[in-house]
Structure 1
C-alpha cells in the first residue's frame, strides 16, 4: 500500500517521513492540494530504482539490437560469455 502524505508533512513531520522511507524502503508520495506533487525515498530505494532502470535500458537496447540484426545466442553462449567477462574482470582486479 503506497504511503501518501500531504506536502505540509514534509515540514511538520519530517522525522516521521524519514523513518517511514528508511524502514519501509518504499517511497512516500506527497500531495499538494490533493494532487501528486513529489516523491521522497531513501537512498537505498533510489539506488535500487536507478539499478532497475539501468537494467531495463540495457534489456531494451538488447531487444532492439536483436530485432535489427536477427542475431540470437543460446543460453550456453550467453553464460560462457558472462563467465569469461567475470574471469577477465577478476584477473584485472588482482
Structure 2
C-alpha cells in the first residue's frame, strides 16, 4: 500500500506489525501445545507399557505354574490391558482351584 500521508503509512505499518506479532504468538502457542502433547503422550505410553509388561509377566508365570503353553509377549500385547487383566484373573482363579 502506498500511503497518502505519513500518518496513514504509520497506521498501516502498526496494524501490519500487530498482525504479524499475533501470527507469531499463535504459531508459538501451537508449537508449545504440540510439544506438551507429545511429552504427555510419551509419559502415558511408558506408563501403559509398564502396566502391559506387568500383566504379561504375571500371565506367563501363571501359565507356567498351571503347565499351560506360554503366550508370546506379542500375542499378549495385542490383547490390550483390559483383556490381559481378565486373562490374568482367570488364570489366578484356576491356580487357586488347584490348591
Q: Structure 2 length as normaliser, TM-score?
A: 0.33
Structure with greater proportional helix content = 2
Structure with greater proportional strand content = 1
Larger Rg: 2
Q: Structure 1 length as normaliser, TM-score?
A: 0.34
Greater relative contact order (Cα 8 A, min sep 6): structure 1 or 2?
2
